[in-house]
Amino acid sequence: MSDKTLFERIVAREIPAQIVYEDANYIAIRDIAPRAPVHLLVIPKKVSTRLDEIVDEAEMGRLMLTALRVARTQLSDYRLIVNVGRGGGQEVFHTHVHILGGWEEGSPVGFGI
């Protein structure tokens, strides 16, 4: 059994995914269990378990700028969500940013992910 995270296996092309963006540091894929009409994940290739492990400001900035760049290619209005820790709703312990959108009249009230 592999010790790699699901996202490491996607980056390594061990598991198929619908890739919508990729550069040297990030990959963006369509979520396989979408919670919005458009649900993408921006995943750093460099592994950190959770967002608050990233202490380098430039690295944090690159992650968010990449998420914005990907979102803008797909949507005009969107939400960016980062779950941090199990109690914060994180299910895959490899930092990632959710991009959600595509609702005709805004996201559902109380929408959570």
d(CA 103, CA 105): 6
Instruction: Show the tokens assigned to 93.
Output: 């312990």
Question: What's the rounded Cα separation, in Å, for the pair 35 and 44?
Answer: 21
Active-site position among 39, 94, 96, 98: 96
Q: 39 an active-site residue?
A: no
Q: Return the beta strands (E) in the chain as ranges.
A: 19-22, 26-30, 38-44, 78-81, 97-101
Give the active site residues.
96
